[in-house]
Structure 1
């Protein structure tokens, strides 16, 4: 049975323009889990990672607004909250979907810490978008009031950015492996994992968001997965995106993808980390491949009928 790690993008957890309620998120997750159940039904051994950008941003806002009533939680704790909330919705919805199909497979969420380097240069250069989108005027006001770094995000509006250090080690890896080996679908490294640094043999939370695609790549390598599937809002990776000569990529080598990345075809904070994670995984061991595809074509992508397939 081939091991597959699926990295879910934000569109798999929340519809653009929908209300940011728990009920609305759960309805989106229910739709998403049907596609994940399709993969399991095909006989793959599935492990799930996911983003948390909008959710952790809102949790931070809730904390800050209520600060005069109860102390605000630090950023790493907000990340843990988002892991638990999203994991709860996903394991409930996927468990229900699998049972409805007669598939006996437990679904478990692991609140996961991921070690980062405290000297990572990313801490001096925040790049990871979190939270909701704002207009330019709203963005300027928030930056002035809160001291946040705000940037324009892929033509969709302005968002807060925080540091995005590289993942070094998954703390709960052995627990994840044990669950996988005992027939569990595991939801782990949610939001890229809770970033922690090591100081004198002890762990300490850090104010950052690890890119979920790079964390998924780290996870896929560490559990010896065969395929890394990065699901996003578009059916395939494209070069010259948004231009008259836009071209979608079907099957490409890692060398070709490196060339395209160097030429600047992929937006930082958007498609670029997905491409870099895919390249690194595909080159990590002979026979491994990465797939970047849309959520609704996940099963077809695993069969080579959709998505961008990247191999060394």
Structure 2
């Protein structure tokens, strides 16, 4: 095997906007995603992370429909979705990889700081899209915060920065044995450490920021942030929109992108480039082979 690559699958690359989050839908998208990943795994050591925003939002909404039961907290729901999506991805990898290629899924806890101001400022979108009327009802009934995307609304929650990946050594050991590893789903399960040990946090962690932290602590050659978009656009959604094909960290710092969507991907890519001196690429999952070669997407360099 040659270089080690980390591919971060966007949650919305597994469920498209407007689709019902059914098992059939998720399996269909995961099958298509793994087709690209399995091809990559034939030539590279491979580490896979993935988003879970749509799934976390759906389970949180379902759990809150039982008034006589305590609703599951976001860290608990993150653990549920991390395990489920890893299972689906790994099952499809086993179907598409040679029989002698090992795979493993690691339920990953990620430590955050209790004094992180992001814990008290919701920015991360999760769950389905809502109409104006549904959004107002949920605000009144559940006290949720929302942000508008086009003509619809999504719930937003706290998203603290990742500080420490608790299963890092296990992930390293598996990669060294040429195992395809799936980990840190949804950015990992957020936990705090105090005098009594670790406890979960009512938040979610951005999976791209966790992926960048993970990639910088392992001998990762390339970080690929795979999403719906074919790259990062300047002036997105206007007549002047322009694909940024390649830029330095300093050049990207001069731009601002949509918070809770593209900006965290750019921040994560720049974080990885600054800490390692290697390149990071943001682009469409369907272009994965070209993203690796630098022929598609937005490549960020020193």
Q: TM-score, normalised by structure 1?
A: 0.93
Cα drift, residue 201 of structure 1: 6.2
Q: Specify the alignment match of 2:261 in structure 1.
A: 270
Q: Specify the alignment match of 1:75 in structure 2.
A: 74
Matches within 5 A, 1:1-312: 1-41=2-42, 43-68=43-68, 71-99=70-98, 104-153=100-149, 155=150, 157-200=152-195, 202-260=197-255, 264=256, 266-286=257-277, 288-312=278-302
Cα drift, residue 108 of structure 1: 1.2
**Unpaired segments of 5 or more residues in structure 2?**
none
Distance 1:226 1:67 in 2: 49
Distance 2:274 2:221 in 1: 12
Cα drift, residue 15 of structure 1: 2.9
Cα drift, residue 16 of structure 1: 2.9
Instruction: List, as ranges, runs of 4+ consecutive aligned residues in structure 1 with deviation greater than 6 Å.
Output: none
Distance 1:195 1:118 in 2: 11
Cα drift, residue 156 of structure 1: 5.4
* Structure 2 SS opposite 1:283: helix
Distance 1:300 1:148 in 2: 40
Q: TM-score, normalised by structure 2?
A: 0.96
Write the deviation string for residues 262-281 of structure 1: whole angstroms up to 9, x where unpaired. Answer: xx3x1111110100111111
Q: Answer whether contact 1:133 1:156 (CA < 8 A) is retained.
A: no
Distance 2:10 2:206 in 1: 11
Segment drifting more, 15-24 vs 116-125 = 15-24
Distance 2:6 2:211 in 1: 7
Distance 2:202 2:70 in 1: 17
Q: Answer whether contact 2:4 2:220 (CA < 8 A) is retained.
A: yes
Segment drifting more, 191-200 vs 10-19 = 10-19
CA RMSD, aligned part only? 1.4
**Unpaired segments of 5 or more residues in structure 1?**
none
Write the deviation string for residues 130-157 of structure 1: whole angstroms up to 9, x where unpaired. Answer: 111101111011001101111113x152
Q: Answer whether contact 1:33 1:94 (CA < 8 A) is retained.
A: yes
Distance 2:93 2:27 in 1: 11
1:289–1:148: structure 2 CA closer, same or farther, 3 Å change rule? same
Q: Answer whether contact 2:18 2:129 (CA < 8 A) is retained.
A: no
* Structure 2 SS opposite 1:19: coil
Write the deviation string for residues 101-158 of structure 1: whole angstroms up to 9, x where unpaired. Answer: xx632221111000000111012211111111101111011001101111113x1521
Distance 2:237 2:146 in 1: 24
Cα drift, residue 71 of structure 1: 4.3
Q: Answer whether contact 2:109 2:189 (CA < 8 A) is retained.
A: yes
Distance 2:46 2:106 in 1: 15
Aligned residues: 301
Cα drift, residue 44 of structure 1: 1.5
